[in-house]
């Protein structure tokens, strides 16, 4: 039934061009691989449920609503009750004790209720609420699908970040971007299927974009990291610091000659042939990637739209614009991380100043991204996913808030998410998700569903069992799908 | 809109009939899977505590279809095919008169819908016994005693060099295939040197082997290579893959395993001195419980237990009982995969789905590891335990520390004395007059205060004695089954024991005075144990041949692959145990076989008859591992620093390798062997990462080999590879005079063979071509010529022949 793939089969015999179709019988993984290595096999094929031949009979699991995801990751955990989930009772009962129990496990001790320092207003035809932190995103609420009842399992950054990215907070598992790449392959044979722009190396680090036991082709390609300004962020080794392109071409020609002579002594071998192709692809990537990262060709208006005209929004704006360019170029999963030299949104204290600074840095760039994608018709099939690893407590820790994985808000936009819609709710004070609860696993299942992937059938056989992004959990939340 | 969505439903119905027509789905496998995935966990978790084997409140139990049909005091609990009329559904929906269940809170909509769907489709309830027989097969091959297999008879006896060849040839002959001819000697020495040392042979070593005309020259070469330090480093690294070795914790709090290197060096030393594997195993699980005659042995024993401690831990887990059980779980899972080839970790939350390992078996083992102390503190950021290591080093450090303290005290005393003398002199008072410190000068008081503070800090810090991560004994107790793995939902307490299916004839007594790690270890190395010896000889086979006899080296369970040569596996295992668990004997047995010495270039007939090389009708082409690539680059360019052992981190023990700033604090600029580069979880050195270094967070006995474009970028553009090319160019200019001699030397160094005439011409032409291209740089001719050589060297280093072994 499921497209189980034996890692051994794919790993050990990377198919060469001429064997790609024949080898396809072992599963789509090798097709994606073949496609990365320059075969003509296109990426519209998702893993079918026919193990013998995923192409022939059942090429798609079901029609997809989205072709790609852009994940805007707000590292540190923005507060739901200060951004998108207004709580009048929290304002009323400011300073009073929480009238029900706090969770058994908390990260730090918190005291009494703390009202939000920001005013909330309703926007758009949908009348969704947004606080004054996000005046620009607020203009796009009619495109947003807010889920107020997200909940996770881990109150520490490390566990929660890994949970959001991999579905597991205590084991090393493939990242959601790797699962998506594995499921859908790439639309652009000159680029990786999964890129992550300026990710944080803390709290799981590369595990958050690693393919774990999935083949290495499905791992995320980091564009810089959080310690590097986005202006300087690029893929490692993408440029040769010494030789001209002309000389590199001469060199590659010589390398090709040598490799073919070597091949004569060994006899035909898929791995050796694949390695020959990989150099050709690398050479093409050298041209293609910098072209996408180079924002100088964008109009002034576009750059302004993303806030690149202002120092405070320029860094994140550049990342968002790069994300759009990757989306246009056919990359499947693009992550943009908002993380400064602290844990950006982690306001255990000084909530007011901290959240104000953070929101200001992303508000215009994100609004710009939404507007730009929409104008280009890309929002149709691009799913935007916004959120942090958890929310924050409505109760106070100094003049800030503690971590809270019990109930928080994430929003989706485009790609089949129901626009201008709110789903689920937290309690009167915004501590626990209580209505239409959506676990991280459910969210993962839903997003895969929008990409045309059944989270229960997107599996990989490893260490004796079939693994999937949602482990043994996850339900598709059909109510948030338009 | 409606039209579209209606259309979509139609498409889904066509493409995905299984979901909508589940009623007609008759495959029992699917039904079993549905039940085991969605229904049984619900019933176990939410119902069985009150309606199961132990208790039957209201006369109801839910642990079989019959019991549900019979129902309790209120009548049948389910009506197959009719969810609405089923009491069970009314109860979980909180509808009608049925009691609202479960008591701890309503199920989610999805869970309720799953139950309804299950009842609607007939309430298929797999019988426990049947499912045990199908999947949890105690008669699975790997649980049976080692067969007393004898090397089989073959026709072509002249091909036999070691008994291994008989097992391989017998199967080839049965398939009417002949093995491939032996590899030529140049190929052989290159293959063998990499196999045993992870390094290329030097041109001089190649020459001397080619010149060695003794009939057993090859056997001598095997023996010589096994005695080199590089052998211990290379084979120790194999074990470190399995031991999930890392110099940092990884996971959430990526802090330094500042003393992990001692475990690494222990492993290298153990391989080098051919420590019997049974002893090696016992030391790693229970070294602290053994006795030693000398400090060196004691240090080794204590350091060895680092195996249990070195796994990744969620050190900021605020749920302390969970952290404790997570660590125990990681240990059980590692011991299972590493020594038994079993995924025991599965049984933490439920009976193993496929192997006959019950949750009770798991918690029997959990008792052993919970009675073991891995952590000194569970308070975030939690602290792992470290052993202080006895011996001269410790004595010297302790002595130096004590001397330092004495000196500091003396300094304070003499400063005090000097100040008193100064005041007495200035006041002209007698030698016996007491002067309190409060009358000292401000400067003197400040200086004294500073010195005392420093002294106090030093005393508090204590000497930095040599320490190693490792485990010791904790309070001894048995552990209760954690229902669904939840530390708050406890079931029956299970006495510490080994898994029933593997127990063997004799019951092992687990003492109440010890954790039982030693008993566990000794049980594992009992010659009659069906798994331990099979698993390790299969690992060694994998490391020599690139593929195990059992391909899934870390899983011998029901979902693992079956051995391609089961008799050979058992024969090897017996031979290994009878030969005193000696690794080097096992190497000799394998490397001296004709099987291992076959050529990798096979005839059409052989490829047709054995397309996947299941029968070992030829050798496999092998790409170098990440470490081999880097070490070879350093070796051929003449830069390799062969210093052995010692610490590698610049960050202090328990210091952060990575924090929220994302700045990489690890330094990889070193010319030492890759074994001595830091292994940082969450951010493995990118050269390693790109070339398939295994995830150091999980045991890995079967590295994969991927071929992706970023590897090509690394070889084309990284400063490291470019520098190696420069060094190689420098080397051939140092060592050879003319262009043709340099080309010859370059090929000899890079590929271990003489250059062909064709290569001489081609490379010479390439140098000229590169030179022309470099003209535009306007540099001196000599500089330009050297640049062209660099490009040529670089090209060879990036080539397939450099990175693949025949």
CA distance A58 to chain B (A): 7
Same domain? For B107 and B27 the reply is yes
Which among B552, B708, B714 has CB closest to A217? B708
Which of A258, A176, A251, A164 is closest to A212 using CA atoms? A176
Nearest C-alpha in B relative to A49: B16
Chain B residues touching residue A259 (CB < 8 angstroms)? 799-801
Among B465, B492, B516, the domain boundary falls at B465
- Retrieve residue B293's tokens: 């005659």
Spell out the residues 6+ positions from residue B296 whose beta carbon is closer than 8 angstroms to its own.
B391
When scoring B105, B117, B252 by the number of chain A Cβ atoms within 10 A, the one with the most, hence best to mutate, is B252
Question: Which of A201, A204, A251 has the CB atom closest to B791's CB atom?
Answer: A251
Residue A413, beta-bridge partner list: A144, A384
Stated as kind and residue range, the H or E segment containing A261 is helix A245-266
Closest Cα in chain A to B553: A463
pLDDT band at A27 (very low <50, low <70, confident <90, very high): very low
Name which of B662, B702, B758 is nearest A227 (Cβ-Cβ). B662
Place of tokens 């991999």: A166
Residue B123 counted as domain residue: yes
Cross-chain Cβ contact B718/A237 below 8 Å: yes
* Dihedral sign, Cα of residue B464, residue B468, residue B469, residue B473: negative
How does DSSP classify residue A213?
Answer: T
Q: Which of A62, A238, A244 sits opposite B12 (nearest CB)?
A: A62
Q: B781-798 and B739-751 helices cross at what angle (nearest 10)?
A: 30
What integer pLDDT is reported at residue A101 of this predicted model?
A: 92
Give the best residue of A229, A230, A275 to mutate against chain B (max B CB count within 10 A): A275
pLDDT number for residue B127: 65
Distance from CA of B275 to the nearest CA of A (A): 29
Q: Which residue has the higher pLDDT, A411 or A34?
A: A411
Residue from A20, A202, A402, A482 whose CB has the most chain B CBs within 10 Å, to mutate: A202
Q: Which residue out of A463, A466, A467, A475 would a mutagenesis test of the B interface target, given it has the greatest number of B Cβ atoms within 10 Å?
A: A463
Q: What share of chain B is helix, strand, coil (3-state, %, to 5)?
A: 55, 5, 40
Would you list the DSSP string of A360-418? HHHHHHHHHHHHHHHHTT-GGGEEEEEE-S-EEEEEEETTEEEEE-SSEEEEEESTTBP
Contact A463 B343 (CB under 8 A): yes
| DSSP symbol at B38 | I
Considering only CB atoms, B621 lies closest to which of A227, A244, A269, namely A269
Structure tokens given for B126: 């797999």
Kindly calculate the radius of gyration of chain A based on its CA atoms and give it in whole angstroms: 23
Contact B560 A205 (CB under 8 A): no
Residue B212 lies in a domain: yes
Q: What token pair was written down for A337?
A: 């991380």
Facing residue for B623 by CB, picked from A248, A257, A271: A271
Contact (CB<8Å) A206/B684: yes
For chains A and B, CB pairs below 8 A equal: 252
Residues of chain B contacting A61 with CB distance shorter than 8 Å = 15-16
Question: Which residues, numbered 669 to 688 in chain B, qualify as contacts with chain A under a Cβ-Cβ cut-off of 8 Å?
Answer: 682-684, 686
One domain for residues B296 and B375: yes
Of B705, B770, B794, the CB nearest to A11: B705
Looking at CA atoms only, how far is residue A421 from chain B in angstroms? 17
**How many other C-beta atoms can be found within 10 angstroms of the C-beta atom of residue B55?**
11
Distance from CA of B273 to the nearest CA of A (A): 32
Q: Are strands A144-151 and A421-423 parallel, antiparallel or unpaired?
A: parallel
B654 is a domain residue: no
Are B732 and B797 found together in one domain? yes
What pLDDT does B351 receive? 79
Collect the ranges in chain B with pLDDT lower than 50.
1-26, 129-134
Cβ neighbours of B354 in A, within 8 Å: 464-465
Question: What is the helix (H) or strand (E) element at residue B606, kind and residue range?
Answer: helix B604-609
Q: Give A-chain residues touching B30 at CB under 8 angstroms.
A: 1
The DSSP bridge partners found for residue A382 are: A68
Please tell me whether residues B357 and B503 are part of one structural domain: yes
Domain extent for B203: 157-227+531-609
pLDDT on residue A121: 97
What percentage of chain A exceeds 90 in pLDDT?
63
Structure tokens at B638: 């003449």
The per-residue pLDDT for range A269-313, each reduced to its tens digit, is 878 888 898 898 889 889 889 999 999 999 999 999 999 999 999
pLDDT at B128: 52
3-state secondary structure A69-109: EEEEEECCCCCHHHCCCCCHHHHHCCCCCCCCCCCCCCCCC
Contacting residues of A for B254, CB less than 8 Å apart: 202, 205
* Window 39-98 of B, Cβ < 8 Å to A: 41
Using a CB–CB cutoff of 8 Å, tell me whether B441 touches chain A: no
- As a whole-number percent, the residues of chain A with pLDDT over 70 amount to 87
In a domain, residue B211? The reply is yes
Q: Kindly report the nearest CA distance between residue B664 and chain A, in angstroms.
A: 8
A1: which DSSP letter? Answer: -
| CB pair distance less than 8 Å for A11 and B704 | yes
Same domain, B333 and B427: no
Strand, helix or coil for residue B337: helix
Complex-level ipTM beyond the 0.85 threshold: no
Q: Residue B421: its pLDDT value, please?
A: 87
Same domain membership, residue B479 and residue B447: no
Q: Is the CB of B708 less than 8 angstroms away from the CB of A278?
A: yes
DSSP character at residue B99: P
Would you call A417 helix, strand, or coil by DSSP? strand
**Least CB-CB distance to B343: which of A215, A286, A464?**
A464
Q: Which range among A8-17, A153-162, B394-403 shows the weakest confidence by mean pLDDT?
A: A8-17
| SS3 of residue A413 by DSSP | strand
Max CA separation in chain B (angstroms): 113
How many degrees, rounded to 5, is the angle at CA B613 between CA B611 and CA B616?
Answer: 145
Select from B716, B719, B721 the residue whose CB has the most chain A CBs within 10 Å, as the one to mutate to test that interface.
B716
CB–CB contact A159 B346 (8 Å): no
Is A155 close to B314, i.e. CB distance below 8 A?
Answer: no
Domain match, B519 and B588 both = no
Instruction: Tell me the shortest Cα–Cα distance from A179 to chain B, in angstroms.
Output: 17
Q: What is A44-60 written as a DSSP string? A: TPPP-S-SS-TTTS---
Q: Check CB contact under 8 Å for A286 and B713.
A: yes
In tens, the pLDDT along A328-375 reads 999 999 999 999 877 789 999 999 999 999 999 999 999 999 999 999
Is A68-237+287-480 in CATH node 3.40.50.150? no
Question: Which chain A positions have a beta carbon within 8 Å of B746's beta carbon?
Answer: none
What span, in angstroms and rounded, lies between the C-alpha atoms of B453 and B446? Answer: 11
Q: Distance between CA B607 and CA B610 in Å, rounded?
A: 5
Is the C-alpha dihedral spanning B475, B480, B485, B487 positive or negative?
Answer: negative
Same-domain check for residues B166 and B283: no
Between vectors from CA A211 to CA A74 and to CA A388, what angle results, nearest 5°? Answer: 10
**A123: Cα within 13 Å, side-chain hemisphere:** 22
Res A20: pLDDT: 33
Rounded to whole angstroms, the Cα distance separating B302 from B297 reads 9
Any domain includes B705: no
Position B242 in a domain: no
Q: How far is CA B430 from CA A204, B426, B434, B437, in A?
A: 70, 11, 9, 17
Q: What is the pLDDT of residues B26-53, one digit of tens each?
A: 456 667 767 877 888 788 888 887 887 7
- Taken in order B84, B87, B90, B95, the sign of the CA dihedral is positive
Alpha-carbon distance values, B125 to B46, B47, B121, B129 (Å): 17, 15, 11, 12
Question: Where does residue B91 fall: left (phi above 0), alpha (psi -120 to 50 degrees), or beta otherwise?
Answer: alpha
Of B465, B482, B503, which residue constitutes the final position of a domain? B465
* Chain A residue with minimum CA distance to B604: A267
Contacts 24+ apart (CB under 8 A), B36-40: B36/B126, B36/B131, B36/B353, B37/A472, B38/B114, B38/B118, B39/B114, B39/B115, B39/B118
Binary contact (A217, B695; C-beta < 8 A): no
Cβ neighbours around B8 below 10 Å, total: 13
Which residues from chain B sit within 8 angstroms of residue A343, using beta carbons? 660
Q: Contact A237/B714, CB-based, under 8 Å? A: yes
- pLDDT above 90 coverage of chain B, percent: 64
| Residue A432, min C-alpha distance to chain B (Å) | 15
Residue A462: per-residue pLDDT: 75
Is the residue at B622 inside a domain?
no
Is pLDDT at A33 greater than 60 in this prediction? no
Measure CB to CB from residue B698 to each of A158, A172, A342 and give the nearest one. Answer: A172
Q: Given A157, A210, A261, which is nearest B252 (Cβ)? A: A157
Residue with tokens 């974009």: A209
- What residues contact residue A202 under an 8 Å CB cut-off, 6+ apart? A157, A158, A343, B254, B658, B659, B660, B661, B662
List chain A residues with CB under 8 Å of B661: 202, 226-227, 341
Q: Which residues of B touch A60 (CB under 8 A)?
A: 15
pLDDT tops 80 at residue A378: yes
Tokens describing residue B216: 């057993």
Total domains in chain B come to 5
For residues B362 and B401, state if they share a domain: no
Q: Scanning the structure block, which residue is given the tokens 């024993």? A: B301
Nearest to B712 among A11, A203, A279 (CB): A279
Examine residue B320 and state whether it is found in any structural domain, yes or no.
yes
Q: Which residues of B touch A7 (CB under 8 A)?
A: 704
Contact list in A for residue B773 (CB cut-off 8 A) is 244, 246-247, 250
């Amino acid at each position: 039934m499921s497209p189980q793939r034996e890692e051994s089969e794919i790993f050990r015999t990377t198919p060469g061009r001429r064997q790609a179709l024949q080898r396809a019988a072992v599963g789509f993984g090798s097709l994606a691989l073949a496609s990365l290595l320059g075969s003509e096999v296109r990426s519209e094929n998702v893993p079918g449920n026919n193990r013998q031949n995923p192409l022939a009979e059942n090429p798609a699991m079901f029609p997809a609503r989205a072709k790609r995801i852009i994940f805007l990751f707000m590292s540190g955990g923005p507060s739901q009750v200060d951004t998108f989930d207004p709580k009048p009772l929290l304002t009323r009962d400011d300073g009073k004790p929480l009238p029900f129990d706090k969770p058994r496990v908390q990260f730090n001790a918190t005291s009494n209720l703390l009202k939000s320092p920001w005013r909330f207003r309703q926007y758009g035809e949908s009348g969704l609420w947004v606080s004054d932190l996000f005046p620009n995103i607020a203009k796009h609420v009619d495109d947003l699908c807010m889920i107020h009842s997200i909940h996770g399992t881990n109150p520490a950054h490390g566990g929660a970040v890994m949970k959001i990215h991999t579905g597991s907070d205590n084991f090393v598992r493939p990242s959601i971007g790797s699962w998506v790449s594995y499921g859908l392959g790439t639309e652009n044979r000159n680029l990786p299927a999964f890129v992550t722009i300026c990710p944080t190396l803390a709290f799981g680090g590369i595990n958050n974009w690693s393919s774990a036991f999935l083949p290495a082709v499905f791992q995320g390609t980091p564009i810089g990291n959080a310690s590097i300004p986005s202006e300087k962020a690029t893929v490692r080794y993408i440029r040769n610091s010494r030789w001209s392109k002309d000389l590199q071409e001469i060199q590659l020609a010589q390398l090709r000659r040598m490799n073919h002579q070597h091949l004569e002594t060994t006899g035909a071998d898929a791995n050796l042939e694949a390695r020959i192709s990989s150099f050709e692809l690398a050479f093409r990537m050298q041209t293609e990637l910098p072209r996408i990262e180079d924002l100088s060709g964008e109009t002034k208006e576009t750059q302004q739209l993303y806030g690149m005209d202002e120092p405070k929004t320029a860094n994140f704006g550049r990342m968002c614009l790069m994300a759009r360019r990757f989306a246009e170029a056919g990359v499947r999963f693009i992550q943009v991380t908002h993380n400064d030299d602290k844990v950006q949104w982690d306001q255990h204290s000084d909530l007011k100043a901290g959240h104000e600074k953070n929101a200001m840095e992303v508000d215009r760039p994100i609004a710009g991204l939404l507007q730009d994608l929409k104008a280009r018709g890309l929002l149709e099939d691009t799913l935007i996913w916004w959120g942090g690893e958890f929310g924050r407590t409505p109760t106070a820790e100094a003049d800030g808030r503690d971590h809270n994985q019990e109930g928080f808000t994430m929003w989706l936009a485009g790609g089949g998410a129901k626009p201008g819609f709110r789903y689920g709710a937290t309690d009167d004070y915004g501590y626990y998700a209580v209505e239409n609860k959506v676990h991280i696993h459910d969210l993962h299942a839903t997003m895969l569903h929008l990409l045309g992937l059944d989270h229960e059938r997107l599996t990989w056989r490893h260490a004796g069992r079939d693994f999937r992004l949602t482990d043994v959990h996850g339900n598709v939340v059909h109510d948030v799908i338009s | 809109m409606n039209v579209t969505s209606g259309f979509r439903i139609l498409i889904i119905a066509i493409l995905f009939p299984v979901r909508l027509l589940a009623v007609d789905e008759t495959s029992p496998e699917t039904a079993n899977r549905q039940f085991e995935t969605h229904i049984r966990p619900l019933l176990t978790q939410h119902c069985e505590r009150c309606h199961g084997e132990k208790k039957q409140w209201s006369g109801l139990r839910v642990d079989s279809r019959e019991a549900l049909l019979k129902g309790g005091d209120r009548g049948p609990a389910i009506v197959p095919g009719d969810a609405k009329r089923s009491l069970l559904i009314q109860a979980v929906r909180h509808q009608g008169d049925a009691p609202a269940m479960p008591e701890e809170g309503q199920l989610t909509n999805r869970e309720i819908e799953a139950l309804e769907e299950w009842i609607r489709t007939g309430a298929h309830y797999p019988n426990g016994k049947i499912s045990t027989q199908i999947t949890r097969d105690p008669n699975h091959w790997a649980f049976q005693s080692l067969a007393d297999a004898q090397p089989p008879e073959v026709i072509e006896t002249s091909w036999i060099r070691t008994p291994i060849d008989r097992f391989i040839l017998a199967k080839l002959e049965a398939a009417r295939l002949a093995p491939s001819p032996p590899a030529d000697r140049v190929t052989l020495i290159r293959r063998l040197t990499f196999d045993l040392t992870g390094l290329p042979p030097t041109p001089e070593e190649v020459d001397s082997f080619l010149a060695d005309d003794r009939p057993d020259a090859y056997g001598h070469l095997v023996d010589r290579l096994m005695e080199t330090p590089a052998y211990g480093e290379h084979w120790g690294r194999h074990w470190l893959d399995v031991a999930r070795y890392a110099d940092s914790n990884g996971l959430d709090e990526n802090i330094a395993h500042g003393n992990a290197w001692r475990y690494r060096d222990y492993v290298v030393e153990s391989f080098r001195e051919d420590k019997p594997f049974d002893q090696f195993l016992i030391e790693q699980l229970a070294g602290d419980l053994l006795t030693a005659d000398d400090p060196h042995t004691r240090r080794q024993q204590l350091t060895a237990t680092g195996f249990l401690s070195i796994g990744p831990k969620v050190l900021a887990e605020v749920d302390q009982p969970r952290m404790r059980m997570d660590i125990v779980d990681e240990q059980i899972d590692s011991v299972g995969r590493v020594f038994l080839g079993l995924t025991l970790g599965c049984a933490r939350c439920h009976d193993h789905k496929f192997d006959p390992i019950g949750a009770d078996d798991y918690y029997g083992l959990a008792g052993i590891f919970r009675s073991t102390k891995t952590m000194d503190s569970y308070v975030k950021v939690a602290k792992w335990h470290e052993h202080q290591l006895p011996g001269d080093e410790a004595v010297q450090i302790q002595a130096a520390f004590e001397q330092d303290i004495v000196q500091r005290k003396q300094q304070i005393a003499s400063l005090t004395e000097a100040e008193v003398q100064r005041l007495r002199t200035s006041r002209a008072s007698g030698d016996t007059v007491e002067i309190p410190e409060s009358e000292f000068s401000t400067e003197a008081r400040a200086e004294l205060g500073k010195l005392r503070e420093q002294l106090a800090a030093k005393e508090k810090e204590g000497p930095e004695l040599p320490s190693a991560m490792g485990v010791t004994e904790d309070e001894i107790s048995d552990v209760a089954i954690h229902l669904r793995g939840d530390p708050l939902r406890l079931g029956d307490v299970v006495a510490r024991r080994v898994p029933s299916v593997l127990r063997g004839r004799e019951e092992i007594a687990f003492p109440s005075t010890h954790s039982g790690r030693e008993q566990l270890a000794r049980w594992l190395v009992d010659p009659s144990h069906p798994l331990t010896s099979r698993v390790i000889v299969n690992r060694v086979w994998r490391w020599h041949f690139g593929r195990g006899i059992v391909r899934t080296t870390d899983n011998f369970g029901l979902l693992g692959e079956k051995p391609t040569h089961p008799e050979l596996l058992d024969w090897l295992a017996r031979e290994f145990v009878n030969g005193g668990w000696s690794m080097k004997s096992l190497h000799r047995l394998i490397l001296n076989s004709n099987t291992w010495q076959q050529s990798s270039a096979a005839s059409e007939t052989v490829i047709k008859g054995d397309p996947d090389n299941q029968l070992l009708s030829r050798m496999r082409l092998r790409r170098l591992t990440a470490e081999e690539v880097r070490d070879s680059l350093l070796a051929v360019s003449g830069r390799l620093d062969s210093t052995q052992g010692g610490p590698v981190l610049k960050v202090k023990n328990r210091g952060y390798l990575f924090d929220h700033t994302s700045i990489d604090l690890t330094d990889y600029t070193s010319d030492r062997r890759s074994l001595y580069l830091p292994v940082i979880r969450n951010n493995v050195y990118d050269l390693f990462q790109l070339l398939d270094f295994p995830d150091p967070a999980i045991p890995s006995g079967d590295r994969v080999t991927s071929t992706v474009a970023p590897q090509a970028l690394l070889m084309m553009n990284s400063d490291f590879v470019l520098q190696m090319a420069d060094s190689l160019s420098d080397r051939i200019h140092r060592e050879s005079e003319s262009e043709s001699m340099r080309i010859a030397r370059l090929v000899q160094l890079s590929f271990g063979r003489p250059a062909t005439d064709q290569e001489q011409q081609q490379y010479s032409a390439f140098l000229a071509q590169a030179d022309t291209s470099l003209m535009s740089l306007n540099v001196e001719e000599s500089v330009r010529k050297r640049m062209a050589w660099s490009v040529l060297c670089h090209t060879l280093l990036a080539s397939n022949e450099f990175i693949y072994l025949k």
